[in-house]
Structure formats: structure tokens, C-alpha cells
Amino acid sequence: MIALNPEDTALIRRFLTLLAPYRFKFVLASICMLGVSGFTALMAYLIKPAMDYIFVHKDVHMLAVMPFVVLGVFFLNGLCRWASDYLLQEIGLSIVAELRQKLYNHVMDMPVSFFDNQAGGTLISRITNDIQEIQFAVSKAVTGIVRDAFMVVGLIFVVFYQDWKLASIAVLVLPIAFFPLFIFARILRTLAHRSQQAMAKLTIVLHETFRGIRIVKAFCRENYEKERFAQKNDEYVKYARKSAWIDAMSSPLMEFIGAIGIASIMAYGGYQVIRENATPGSFFSFLGGLLMLYRPVKSLSRLNNFIQKGMVSLTRVYDLLDRQNTVKDLPGARAVDRIAGEVIFKDVEFRYSTEPVLKGVNFQIRPGEVVAIVGHSGSGKTTLVNLIPRFYDVTKGAIIIDGMDVRTIKLDSLRRHIAMVTQHPFLFNDTIRNNIAYGWNDPHNPPDDEAILQAARLAYADDFISNLPDGLDTIVGEQGIRLSGGQQQRLCIARAILKNASILILDEATSSLDSQSELEVQKALENLMSGRTTFIVAHRLSTIQRANRILVLSNGKIVEEGSHEELLTFGGTYSRLYELQFSSGKVCETI
Ligand SMILES: Nc1ncnc2c1ncn2[C@@H]1O[C@H](COP(=O)(O)OP(=O)(O)O)[C@@H](O)[C@H]1O
Ligand SMILES: [Mg+2]
């Protein structure tokens, strides 16, 4: 009934190690489960004396005792059932909560490259749906297997004890009665799988259309989307309807088959009683036991479903947990308290997959120097700066900060000294205050409003913040949707300013600003840059003219290096880029 291969067994063993802290609760729960099955068997057994003494022999003494015995047995049975159910659920919930947290922690520590190769939806589904399936498997299957198996054993014992001949026949015939149930279960499983897939498609349509609602409306595609949704909706209902048909069919059919069995047993058993080969008590006790067997056997037969689903999820979850972190500290890596900010790229090569994006990049930046990195879109500027905080590790060569290979510095201590404004501004669905405070290095002592406002002022964000009715308490919406692109960028800059780090990375940090605000923010950035090693990545050459040095990146290599004037005189790639910008007239007023 339950097929497990050796890998599954290994997986389960691993999962069970999580159970270790709860072993006493588990033992207690098992004792209670034994109690449940014992008392259930006892109930079936008690039918015999109740029948024979009270109804057949009309024994008054028994009439006074039996009702209390029955009450007592039911009470104890209920008590054991309550305790075992609750304890097992509680153990299941705790284990699963631990696994969920473990998974999230693991994923959180994974390097950026890991997230590049995973759809966000898949990861979320691992942490929510898969864990949920495991929880079902644990709470239903573990509870079920142990308790129902005990119960089946107890009841079979009673049934055989009362009439072994009849019991042998019943045990042989029973599987035939259950055969249609297995067939139905198989069909239902296939249908469940199909309807889950249909539901997943439905969810994708929902997700996509709500996110892209502006595009849907701008292109007047509402009706098209409604139609698309209707199709998926119909598909789901088609499977659900079939499922409902079979589901509704299975119980009456089973009961009818059961009735055939009971009728036959009644005929045969009645004959035995009339012939006085058996007492009415033992016959009804037998029948009672057999009927009581129905429920645990049925739920045992359903367990497989939960277990199979749970195993699939468990495999996926452990698969993820076993994923090695590729960006790891070297053994003996140390924490650094201060960084002066000297940065050397030594023969750096980097590839995302097969083709190198950076090949043989060499340069040396003095502490406090402001360097601009320019190049065509796709030339690898973002890639280059992402290597500094080790979002990715170099595939060849080394990056050396203050004389130390970055891989020998503890990752969190390295990142503590680097402030970054990324190419796509990112804000959390939280208040402006908390979004700026995200840059604060000391999580135990949150920054005061003065520090936050100061950072906002330096990023030229204070004006628009004070114009908002809720000021610093304004919730910015998911990914900052309630703010303009330029406002989002200014908050990201404020967040980086608050961090007060010795290395500053600005990856097209001002690309969403208009020329006027850009000019202002640039002034702010100049204040910020003083005394810090700064990397500015920009398309707009106006942003970078004040840099001490400009590196020109092309085809994964630094092709030119020097000041603005030097590079213009040189007449290479930089001067061509400059000409392009200049003749487009886009930024002339800020140059
Ligand atoms: N996460 C990624 N996975 C694979 N390839 C990437 C990834 N990010 C960027 N690339 C590729 O690397 C090259 C450089 O990209 P990028 O550094 O973003 O350029 P830039 O910032 O100069 O516009 C591009 O060809 C791009 O397609
Ligand atoms: Mg870029």
C-alpha cells in the first residue's frame, strides 16, 4: 500500500532527526494511541457480554453495571484520542515550523547567483506549499498510521476471537470490497493532479494581469484577459466536476458493497446462532468489530496519497536545503573593523555561464578616490561593481581591498563597509523612515529621526518627504509604487548615506532623476563621496565628469583610463560616447 524506496527511507530518517527533541511527547502520544486502539477493541468486545447477559439471560446485576462500564470505556477512549491527536498535531506543527524557518534561513544566505536561476514563485511555493504538504503528511499520516494500525490489529484480534471461521472468510472477502475504493482513489489522484495544474495556470493569469494592470488597460485588453481567465476557470471546473462525481459515488457504492457483506454475514451468522453454534453476543460483537474496522482501514488506504505528496515535497525541500552556498568565506577569514578603501582588481575574469562578461580587468583605486565606470549598456558595469560586495565571486583573478583578498574577509564585515545604490531602486512596503533606516549598521540601536532626516536632506529627499501628509511615516507601497522613480532613487541614496560606509557604489543611481534634481543630488553625492572610495556607474557622462578617474569598459575589458580631459584628447571610445551624448542634446545643460 505504501511504497517507499531506499532514498525515501533516507529522507524520512533525516526528517525524523527533527523529531528528537519531541521524543517524550511522542512516546506519550504513542501510549495514548495504544490506549485508543485498546479501548476501541474493548468496545467491540463488550458487545458480547452486554448482549448475552442483559438481552439473552436478562441478568439484572449486569444491567446495573454495564452502562457504567460502557460510559467509562468511552470516556477513557475519548481522553486518549484527545491527548494523542493534540500531541501529534503539536509535534507536527513544531517540526514543520522549524523546517520552514530553516529553509527560509538557508535561502536567505544563498548567493545572488542562486536567485538569478530560480523563479521567485518557485521559491515561495517551496516555503509555503511544499511545507504545507509535509505538514499534512506528518499530522495526518503519522497520526493515522500509528493509531489506525494499532486499531486494526486490536479489532482483528476481537473479530478472530469471537468467530475465527467467519473472520477468516471476512478477511479474505474484505479486500474485494475495497477494490473499487482503490480504483476510485487512483482516478481521484489523477484528477487532483490535473485540477492543481489548472489552478496553477489560473494563479499565473491572476498574478500577471494584476501586476501588469496598466498595460492591460493601456492596450484595452480587459476582455481578452477575462476570456483567458474564463478558459482556465472552465478547465479547473471540468476536473473538479469529475472529481465530485466520483467522490459522491464512492461512499454509497462502498456502503452497498458493505451491505452485501453484512447481509451475507448476517445470513451465515444468524444460521450459526439459531443452530446454537454461537451466542448472539459473540455474533454481534463480531459484526461490531467488523464495522468498526471500516473506518481505520479506509483512512489507512487514503494515507498513501498524503504520504506520496508529502514525500515529493520533502524531496524538494531537502534538495533546496542541500544546495551549497558558493559564495563562502575562506577558512580563517577575519572580520575587519575599519577599511581605508583601497581597491585593486587583479586580472579579474567573471562569467555568469560560459561566456566571460569580464576578462582580465586590472585597476587600482586609492582610498578616497572617485572613479567613474562608463561603457555601453551591457558592457558589464553592473557586473563589475557587484563583484566588490561579493554578490558573485570572481571566476579568475582577485579583488583586493586594503591588501586583503575579499574572500579572506568575513562576508558580513566586508559588506558592512560598502554602501550601494543599485541600478533598479528597491524599497520595502514600509514607512519612509524604516526604508532609510534599513541602511543603519547597528540593528540594536535604531537611528533617531534627526539622523534619518539628515540623510534625507543630503539626498535632496527632505522636500518631497515634508510635502507628504504623513511625512516620514508614509508607507511607500510595494516596491515604492506610490512614489515617482526619482523619489524612489533619492530614498535609496538616503539609505546609502545613512550607512556611512568607506566604499560607496552608485550604479546609475541618478538615472531616473530629471536634470535639475540630478544636479542637486549630484551635489549631495559630492559631499557624500568626499573621503570615501566611490564607484560611479553612469550612462550619462554629465554625472561622471567630476570623477578623479574614468575607466572605460568595453567587451569586458578596461580599454581606456584617465581624466575626462585626457580621454577626450585621446579620442577613443570615451570621446565617441561623449560625442553621442553631447549631440543628442540630452544632458548638455548639466555638463
Ligand atoms: N544575472 C545574470 N545572469 C546572466 N547574465 C547576466 C546577468 N546579469 C547580466 N548578465 C549579462 O552580462 C552582461 C553585462 O551586464 P551588466 O553588467 O548588467 O551590463 P551594464 O550594467 O554595463 O549594462 C550582459 O550581456 C548581460 O546580458
Ligand atoms: Mg547596469
Pocket of ligand 1 (CB under 6 A): 116, 352, 357, 375, 377-383
pLDDT (average), residues 452-456: 90
pLDDT of res. 73:
92
DSSP-assigned beta bridge partners for residue 351: 356
488-492, 515-519, 579-583: segment of lowest average pLDDT:
579-583
Same domain, 287 and 310: yes
pLDDT at 589 over 50: no
The last residue of one of the domains, among 323, 358, 382, is 323
Please state whether the predicted TM-score (pTM) of the whole model is above 0.85.
Answer: no
pLDDT of res. 542:
67
Domain count, the chain: 3
Q: Is residue 333 in a domain?
A: no
pLDDT of res. 588:
37
pLDDT of res. 120:
63
The CA 359 to ligand 1 mean position distance, Å, reads: 14
pLDDT at 377 over 80: yes
What sign does the CA torsion over 396, 402, 403, 406 have?
A: negative
The last residue of one of the domains, among 323, 352, 377, is 323
pLDDT in tens, 28-43: 998 998 898 899 889 8
Report the percent of the chain where pLDDT is more than 90: 19
Locate the ligand 1 atom nearest the alpha carbon of residue 113 and give its number. 1
Q: DSSP per residue over 292-324, as a string?
A: HHHHHHHHHHHHHHHHHHHHHHHHHHHHHHTPP
Same domain, 52 and 168: no
The CA 382 to ligand 2 mean position distance, Å, reads: 4
Q: Is residue 332 in a domain?
A: no
pLDDT in tens, 122-165: 777 788 878 888 888 887 777 778 788 888 888 888 889 888 88
Same domain, 248 and 387: no
Same domain, 36 and 68: yes
220 or 521, which is more confident? Answer: 220
Same domain, 232 and 283: no
Locate the ligand 1 atom nearest the alpha carbon of residue 380 and give its number. 17
Q: Which protein residue has the closest C-alpha to ligand 1 atom 10?
A: 352
Q: Identify the three-state secondary structure at position 421.
A: strand
Same domain, 30 and 129: yes
Distances, alpha carbon 371 to alpha carbons 36, 288, 456, 533, 578, in Å: 75, 87, 24, 8, 17
pLDDT in tens, 187-230: 877 887 787 778 777 877 887 888 788 889 888 899 999 999 99
pLDDT of res. 590:
33
The CATH number given to whatever domain includes residue 84 is 1.20.1560.10
Q: Which protein residue has the closest C-alpha to ligand 1 atom 3?
A: 352
pLDDT of res. 591:
31
Q: Which protein residue has the closest C-alpha to ligand 1 atom 5?
A: 352
Residue of 113, 114, 327, 357 with the most ligand 1 atoms within 8 Å of its CB, for mutation: 357
Cα angle value 559/565/567 (rounded, 5°): 15
Length of the chain: 591
Q: Which helix (H) or strand (E) holds 374?
A: strand 370-374
pLDDT in tens, 45-101: 888 888 888 888 888 888 888 889 989 999 999 999 999 889 888 888 888 899 999
The CA 8 to ligand 2 mean position distance, Å, reads: 45
pLDDT of res. 47:
86
Q: Is residue 3 in a domain?
A: no
pLDDT in tens, 295-331: 887 777 777 777 777 888 888 889 889 988 888 888 8
Q: Is residue 211 in a domain?
A: yes
Same domain, 460 and 525: yes
Report the percent of the chain where pLDDT is more than 70: 96
pLDDT at 571 over 50: yes
Same domain, 501 and 517: yes
The CATH number given to whatever domain includes residue 383 is 3.40.50.300
Q: Is residue 340 in a domain?
A: no
The CA 508 to ligand 2 mean position distance, Å, reads: 7
Q: Is residue 19 in a domain?
A: yes
Same domain, 62 and 181: no
Q: What are phi and psi of 472, to 5 degrees?
A: -65, -20
Domain holding 190, by residue range, is: 164-277
pLDDT at 587 over 60: no
Mean pLDDT of the chain: 84
Same domain, 76 and 212: no
Same domain, 150 and 204: no
Q: Which protein residue has the closest C-alpha to ligand 1 atom 27?
A: 378
pLDDT of res. 586:
47
Same domain, 138 and 196: no
The last residue of one of the domains, among 277, 311, 346, is 277
pLDDT in tens, 339-368: 888 999 999 999 998 889 999 899 999 998
Q: Is residue 202 in a domain?
A: yes
- In the sheet that holds 396-401, the strands lie side by side as 356-365, 343-351, 396-401, 404-405
Q: Is residue 360 in a domain?
A: no
Q: Which protein residue has the closest C-alpha to ligand 1 atom 16?
A: 380
